[in-house]
Each structure stands twice: as C-alpha cells, then as structure tokens.
Amino acid sequence: MRVLTKSRFKLGLECPNKLFYTGKKEYANKKQEDPFLLALAEGGFQIEEYARMHYPNGVLIEGDDGKYELLWKQTQELLKQENIVIYEAAFLHDGLFIRTDILVKKGDVIKLIEVKSKSFDPNDDYLFVGKRGAMVPAWKPYLFDVAFQKYVMQLCYPDWEISSFIMMANKSARTTINGLNQFFRVSKEAGNRTGVIKTINSLQNAGTSVLEQKNTTAVVTQIINDTIPYSPDLTFTGAVEMLKENYLSDTYSSWPTSYSCKSCEFVNNDAEAVLRSGFKECFEKQHNWGEPEFSKPKTFDVWSFRKGAELFNSGIYFMDELTEDSIGLKPEAGRLSMSERQWIQIRKEVDLDTSIHIDVEGLRQEIDDWNYPLHFIDFETSAVPLPFTSGRRPYEQIAFQFSVHTYYQDGRIEHSAQYLNNAKGVFPNFDFVRALREALDKDNGTIFRYSNHENTILNAIYEQLLTADELDSATLIAFIKSISHSKSDSAEKWIGERDMVDLWDVLKKYYYNPLTKGSNSIKYVLPAILNSCKYLRDKYSQPIDKINLTSQNLPTSHVWLTCNGEVIENPYKKLPRLFEDWSEEELDEVVSGMEELADGGAALTAYGKMQYTDISDAELDELSTALLKYCELDTLAMVMLFEHFKEIAE
C-alpha cells in the first residue's frame, strides 16, 4: 500500500522529483544512514521520551510499522474515549498518512504536539514569522510538517478543534539536577521505537523542565489556507495534491531543476556505479545532457558561489560559460579575495591546469611572524539537548577532547598533549581548559587552529566560567583570553597576545590547490597537498620513528602514507578500524553499527554513544582509543600543511 507520509511530504517539498527516487534500492542515496546513530548524536530520541513525561499515562501505539490501516484502526478505537493522551497516534485518509508525537484529546478539543530536538530563544518575538510577515526559512520544513499533520487529522475528524504546538528545548532554561541526560539510556534492547530506557517514573524526578512548547496554530492555519506558500511555485494545498498523486502513481514529477540540485542525495558520480543516479536522470530528461555535459566542470562546484543560483536560472550551468564579470571578480589587497579564489578555481578546472596557485611572498611574510615552537591544536566538541549537570542549559557547548602537536625549530615534531573525557554525565569544560593551559603555557610559541571552531569554543567556555564557582576561574579566563579573541557580540572585547593563527585563513589568503576542487576542508586539503608535495610523500612514507616524529597512540612502526598506483591514499583510511580484533559474535553483542571513525560527525556520534548507551568497558576503551587516534591525525594534518607551506616559502 503506497501512502504519502509526512516524511515523504517533507522530502517532496524539498524537490517533488525526489519522491520518484526515494525507497528504490536501485538508486543511490547519500542520506541512507543508520537512524539509530543519527538520533544518538542529535539526542532526538531522548527528547521524545522526555517530552512524553510532560503528558503522562499516555497510550503508545507501537510496532506494525507499514501496516497503515491497522495502525489507523488502533487509533480510532482509542479515540472513542472522551479524554485520552496518545503517543504515535496514526491517521489515514485517501492516501495520506501521518503519525503524531503526542496527541491530547479532551472531547473534541485536540492538542497536536510535535517534538523536536531543536532549541529556541524565548525572547525571540519573531521565531517562526519575521517582521515582514515571511516565514523564517529555517523553520519552514518543521511548520509545513505540522501543517500536514493537522490537515490529515482534520480530514479524518472535521469537527475537531485542533491546536498545534512544537515542543523543544528552551535555550535559557537551566536544569536543577545532575545527570538529566543519564535518565534516558539508549539501547537497541529497549524493545521500543526510540530505543530509550527511562530510569525515572515522573517528571518531578527530573527537576525543572528544560522543554517548552510553542503554539503554532496561527501560522499553521496560514499555511493550510495557502496564505504562506512554501515557495513562489508551491503552495501547501498544491503540494499535497501533486505529491500525493505522483507518489501514489509512482510518477516522475518533472519538477524544474535548480541550483539546489547540487546537494541532491540521489547522486552517484562513479562511472562504474551499479546504483543509478536520480540527479543524472533529472538532467538527462530535462536538459538532454549526455556524458560530455556530465563530465564538464559545473557551476555547482565553484566554492562558496553566491551567484550560482542566479546564473543557473539564466541557463548558465558550466564553468566555461563564466566570465570575470559574471562572477563579479573583485581583487582584495594583501590576500586572495573570495571572487579571486573562485576565478582561479574556474580557470584551472576549465584549462585542466593542475598547478598550485601560491602567493609565495605573502606566505613568507606570514611565516616570518610565527614564533617557535609551533603548536597545532584541534578540539572535538558536542552540544547536547539534555544538560549533564545542574545549572547548565540545553545545547551548551561541551569540549570533550583535544590534541596538540608541537613543531620545534630544528624540525622535531612531537605529539605533545592530548585530552579525552569519556566519563558519563560529566561536564568536562573546565578540566579541558586546565589541561589545555598545561599543554600550551610552557612557552610563547605560536598556536594554530584550522577554521574558527576552537576560538568559538573557548569563547563559550569563557562565558561559562563567568558564572562558575571554580576556584581558578580567574586563571582559566586569563588563559582563554591570552590565546583567543572575543566574538563580535561579546560584552568584553579582547585580542590575546597569543591569539591563535587560523591556518584555514592562511590557506585562503595565499594558496589554491586544484586537487581540492574548491574545498577548504582539511579532509580535502590533506590528500591534495600529499599528492602535490614530494617532500611530504617521501617523509611520511617512512615509519614514525624514522622521521623525528612521536605519537601517543600509534606504534613507532606506523606508516602514515601508502600509494595506490600514483595516488596517495588518504591517511584517515590508515587508522585501524574499530573493533578489528573482535570476533563477529562479540561485535554483534555490543556494537551498534559503528565500524570506523573517519570524520567529526563520527567523533560526535562516538561521544554520544559513550554518554547515552550502556556499553561495556571493552567497548568504551575501543571507542576512546579510536577517538584519540582520529584527533591526533587532525593536528598532524595541520603540521603537514605547515611543512608544505614552509617548503614553498623557502
């Protein structure tokens, strides 16, 4: 039985064509990830269970997923009661199907409550709709989701008086107890949809609630009445009719392509791929593209291209159609401007030029200002909806790990410090800063970060320390201010005497490597520089103990680089796989789908697994070891980038 569910409705709003590809095994889908792990990282399932405690004694309709008529009949039977609370109530009407997080029925007066692991500022008077009456873009998918639920419910029960709400975290609320997050343990053995086991029985045991519900009835009514469209070409009722008809008949919508197609999940660029590419089929059908067009560099791929949508709408799809005027080329004194970087990328892609662009003199002047020994740092952080300790707010930053590599003037490289807090329910930030201070306060060497994350986190911890009762708060605040600069909206302004140098900004100022394809992410920059720099290839193809390098997590025999033909393999792939020494039976018992740790999202997920799941000591050790190795490579990658810059400058 095919039905248009609320998740499919939301997908169709993104692009009606996606409904033709979704759920079909023959099409590639980059978003097909383990929902358990995603929810674990985001805290969504815990929030859902926490929200239900605000409406106790509800009846949960669970199991039988996909049996739409059965679920609808179960709901109808329960709704015969005058007053009732239902979790996961199901409604089915003429090919439309929805389930509600929480439904509160008192006669014909209904509260529809959608639970989200988002947060809001209670002082924001224009949370959903801006001052000029337009919907805030970030909230549009969520509000249309609620509108779809109310619409289907009203079709099923026309006489109902339905008010709608979104329940989510109040960013200004502070928990009054320790271990709030520990009351909601995640386990695949829980036997329910959320996988959460509650260790408390009532909301009173959870202290002051950090959740609050916002009334969406007025804006949802405007959506359903088509007063607020989803886009200039798509109203709510038009979307419901079109998406239902096309999905139920399995018809391709032929919705016009747009610049946003660049982020389509139904894409497969592998020429030998078995899975089909929905992205490719759209452009074949609508633009008659063949292999020559698909192989050409496209405007989609230009770095941070704000004019891309406007040019796409005018029929400009390929880089060889762009001119200096069309991208708005505008030089900037002393550095590569954004438009200059874009133009360099465009010309090199079009001309098949793989040579590196470098401002040697500008880079040399930058390096001359740095003081040895050089320290390269990287943080791993999280922001959880349910605070760990009393006095903390939802989504406060948590800094749980760092790594430091130190480069000495004689060329020695030392993995000089690392920190990881893997204890459950512990707020680690102040110990984190103490350990960082101990690692960096021994000299006056220049400190490096990559992008603005580390400065943002130190500013957040500074704010936390202002109201903390730590005995060394003043010392820690002084240290933070010495190696950072204040945010633009900070009440106090400062620029530290050792303010961290941003290697990401240095790269953007003076350097462009065509192998990065325009990306400035260290995960793309590292393979690019390794494949461009013989010095780095020769050096890091040797064991650690042969190249004046130390490691706190890997044996001295470890070799960072290997070649696959003429291409250097990504060093992140050299990290040992998680649980590689475990038997299949052991893995089945304790591991929830996490096979390797290769990016920041996986690090955050691993930390969430440590915090929210009941794992064995052996699994905790395995995850901790993997996190330490991963973070070590992040700072070593920064060292390699510096060495590449240093060789060029010399």
pLDDT at 141 over 60: yes
CB 196 within 8 A of CB 43: no
Residues whose CB is less than 8 angstroms from the CB of residue 314 and which lie 6 or more positions away in sequence, other chains included: none
User: Residue 577 — very low, low, confident or very high, per pLDDT cuts 50/70/90?
Assistant: low
Give the model's pLDDT for residue 602: 63
pLDDT at 545 over 50: yes
Q: Which residues of 231-244 are buried (b: 16+ CB within 10 A; e: fewer)?
A: eeebbbeebbebbb
Q: How many whole angstroms separate alpha carbon 341 and alpha carbon 28?
A: 32
Q: Which carries the bigger pLDDT value, residue 162 or residue 388?
A: 162
Q: Which carries the bigger pLDDT value, residue 122 or residue 156?
A: 156
Radius of gyration of the CA atoms of the chain, in A = 27
Residues whose CB is less than 8 angstroms from the CB of residue 211 and which lie 6 or more positions away in sequence, other chains included: 47, 50, 51, 54, 167, 168, 169, 170, 173
pLDDT at 167 over 50: yes
User: Residue 573 — very low, low, confident or very high, per pLDDT cuts 50/70/90?
Assistant: confident
Q: Tell me what the pLDDT averaged over the chain comes to.
A: 90
Give the model's pLDDT for residue 41: 44
Give the model's pLDDT for residue 588: 40
DSSP letter at 301 equals G
CB 250 within 8 A of CB 2: yes
Average pLDDT rounded to a whole number, residues 310-318: 96
Q: Which of 249, 275, 266, 250 is nearest to 25 (CA)?
A: 275
Average pLDDT rounded to a whole number, residues 608-628: 82
User: Residue 60 — very low, low, confident or very high, per pLDDT cuts 50/70/90?
Assistant: very high
Q: Which of 144, 115, 135 is nearest to 212 (CA)?
A: 115
Q: How many whole angstroms separate alpha carbon 354 and alpha carbon 420?
A: 40
Q: Would you report the helix, strand and coil content of the chain in percent, each value rounded to 5?
A: 40, 20, 40
